[in-house]
Amino acid sequence: MKSHHSARSLLTAAALLAAITSLPACLQTRSAQKEQEEKQVFKKQLTNLQQNTADINTRFQDLEDEARRVNGRVEVLESKVNQMSAKADKGDQGLENKMRELNEVYKEEFNKMGADITALKQQIAMMQEDQKRVREESESKAQAQAAAKATEQAKGPFASAESKFDKKNWKDAILDYEKYRSQNPKGKQVPVATYKIGVAFQELGMADDAKLFYDEVIAKFPKSKEAEKAASRLKGMKKK
């Protein structure tokens, strides 16, 4: 009888080992794909920010060029007025009268160009603010992602598994729970980790694998709350 029990235990252990060793290949692939997808999303966001910054820089350069052109027009008009004033001072009454007539026109043009320059300066200031905002958003997002990654790494496998389990990220949760179990074979959270691996397998539609972990909880931790919950789940699975 004892020999039969030992053989059964060995078979169960072998089945558990097979379940765990066969799972990481597909789960690790899925985890790597997810990480790659997240990197691609961040890369796309960063590319968009860089493109926005490049567009702002182009607009900024265009406005600076326009401001220089307007300033050049002002200088030309001022030069013409000064030339006409000089001729008028020499006694050319015709030029003096013409200068008076044109003076109002030039004054209006000066005022208009002055307003244009002011508007351009305001636009340049606004775009500089846009540049600053885009840069700060990019830096803030990068810092937030780095902080989140550091926090995740500092949690440890069990805390990380709990977080993923709560988010119904079943496959990654299984990997982290199993990592915790392998690192802490006598840890106080082993019953919880074992039971939740079973739950995760069940949620993935892998009932046979789930039963192995429910059976393990019941066999190794018969007085735990997890054993009671595992028995309830097994009972529910038999009814289906």
Is 42 a residue whose pLDDT tops 90?
no
Q: Which range, of 50-54, 130-134, 203-207, averages the lowest pLDDT?
A: 50-54
Helix (H) / strand (E) element for 92: namely none
Residue labelled with tokens 């990068």:
142
- Sorted by sequence, the CB contacts under 8 Å of residue 181 that are 6+ apart come out as 187, 190, 193, 194
Model-level pTM? Answer: 0.45
Closest to 142 in 3D by CA, of 57, 43, 34, 32: 43
Per the prediction, the chain carries an average pLDDT of: 75
